[in-house]
Amino acid sequence: MKKAFFVLSTATLFNMPNLAHANINVCVFDLLAKSGESYKFLEEWALASKNWGANIDLTAYKDEAKLDQDFKAGKCDGFYMTSMRARNYNKFAGSIDALGGVPNNAIAQKAITYVLDKRNQKRLITKSGKETYEVAGIGQIGPAYLFVRDKSINTVEKLNGKKIAVMEFDQAQKIMVKRVNAVPVMSEISNFVKKFNQNEVDVVPAPAYAFKPLEIYKGLGNNGAMVNFPVLNVTADLIIRPEQFPEGFAAQSRQWFVRQLPKSFAMVQRVEATIPSKYRMELDKDAKEKYQKLLRDARMDLTQQ
């Protein structure tokens, strides 16, 4: 009788979802590590994940390239990092960050909601060799603006010959910079603003989220400005190896992310409001139309490629 009870108890333990999927490690990129908004957001997600049968351990990374390396090495069962780099794992989710494709927060919210809709489930799963990746969520980081060291750079034409920091892993940024006859300077998220602050580049595209932690105001000085025209929308993707998670986990996770969107966009607006008005530079109607056409032409060209 005791032996039968032991066998039954053991079988029950191994079939409990919380124990079968214990110690799932998800790596999170945040410029401020555990103190940042992205990491805190994922802490809320990890807590909610217990209701879906998963016990999540989070590991914070300030270096996104290192996170990517560790995920490929199998040290992470999932990751949360910018869609610019995560696009290599799922192009459909990464398309939200297409140059000029999402001009404001309202459209960004609709785009994220659409991509995470259950009708797109097959598009959110990618197979690469023996690996399977699934998008389990998309978070809003915010529109990226051009920060210029000299506020006289207020038209497309005046970008000619200027040095612009671009992410070395994002081919679209390199092509875009060359289209305006500017000079792309290969950078990483860990150093792109540093180059701006040290006068190695004239222009840096960045979301408001980076303004304070990366001290962009140092590069702006007394003559710089933030061009108040979004050149792209920056999101972060949560991508997992689905076999390491309970069945149906990703679908429940995506629904949770959609429910959090109002809070995420409120956070973006709150962060943008902290940038002093003295740095904001408005473009005239003609300059805005030129930027819009430039971004549209580049986006169509990149789509064909």
DSSP for 79-144, please give it: EEEEHHHHTTT-HHHHGGGSTTT--SHHHHHHHHHHHTSGGGGGGGEEEETTEEEEEEEEEEEEEE
pLDDT at residue 15 greater than cutoff 50: no
Per-residue pLDDT at 4: 46
pLDDT at residue 16 greater than cutoff 90: no
At 292, the amino acid letter reads Q
pLDDT in tens, 66-110: 999 999 999 999 999 999 899 999 999 988 888 788 888 889 999
Per-residue pLDDT at 154: 87
pLDDT at residue 20 greater than cutoff 80: no
The residues, any chain, with a CB within 8 Å of residue 71's CB and separated by 6 or more, are 27, 79
| pLDDT above 70: percentage of residues in the chain | 93
Per-residue pLDDT at 19: 41
DSSP code of 207? E
Distance CA 165, CA 240 (A): 30
